[in-house]
Amino acid sequence: MGAKILVSACLMGHAVRYDGQAKPLVHPALDRWREEGRLVTICPEMSAGMPVPRLPAEIAAGKAGTDVLSGAARVLESQGGDVTDAFRQAAENALALARESGCAYALLIDGSPSCGSGFIYDGSFTGRHLSGEGVTTALLRANGIRSFPIKRSKCWLR
């Protein structure tokens, strides 16, 4: 059996996204990894006690997850509430689970201020995005866990 893989719960069909939806990913490799017992599922935000549904949140001012971790950026809700501490806790929870479970990889939903691995939204709540990573992804990568984005048009899974 190969290394374990931390997976965004929304990709596994759990309705845990901010809007109460899921973004299920169907792929033969994912099915195989599930059968092999390699998948470890988490919604970082829910692990930190955030509700579903919840207000949309973005990393402010075009910053990224590493900026949030260093204290140089905040995560704000669409109505202005500061949820930075919850997103930091979410990242710590995901890292702890990955370590406890022996995960070497993470398969995360792109765009999220937590799980974004290739792109995140720019903090303006206008749908514009930029290259960057969310808070959880930044912490996982800083600790040696390789994280990969899921893009609906091109998936690296084999």
Give me 20's structure tokens: 């109460």
Whether residue 14 lies inside any domain: the answer is yes
Whether residue 86 lies inside any domain: the answer is yes
- Whether residue 152 is predicted with pLDDT greater than 50 in this model: the reply is no
pTM score, whole prediction: 0.94
Map tokens 């390699």 to a residue. 38
- Per-residue pLDDT tens digits for 111-124: 999 999 999 999 99
- Per-residue pLDDT tens digits for 57-102: 999 999 999 999 999 999 999 999 999 999 999 999 999 999 999 9
Whether residue 158 lies inside any domain: the answer is no
- Whether residue 40 is predicted with pLDDT greater than 50 in this model: the reply is yes
Structure confidence at residue 131 (pLDDT): 95
Residue at 11: amino acid letter? L
Q: Give the separation between CA 19 and CA 150, rounded to whole angstroms.
A: 19
Whether residue 133 lies inside any domain: the answer is yes
Instruction: For residue 130, give its domain range.
Output: 4-150
Long-range contacts of 111-115 (CB under 8 A, 24+ apart): 112/8, 113/57, 113/58, 113/59, 113/65, 113/75, 113/87, 114/44, 114/45, 114/87, 114/90, 115/8, 115/44
Residue at 140: amino acid letter? L
Segment holding 40, helix H or strand E: strand 39-42
Give me 69's structure tokens: 């971790």
Whether residue 112 lies inside any domain: the answer is yes
Whether residue 157 lies inside any domain: the answer is no
Whether residue 15 lies inside any domain: the answer is yes
Q: Between vectors from CA 94 to CA 88 and to CA 91, what angle results, nearest 5°? A: 15
Structure confidence at residue 151 (pLDDT): 62
**Domain tally for the chain?**
1
Q: What are phi and psi of 124, to 5 degrees?
A: -95, -10
Whether residue 106 lies inside any domain: the answer is yes
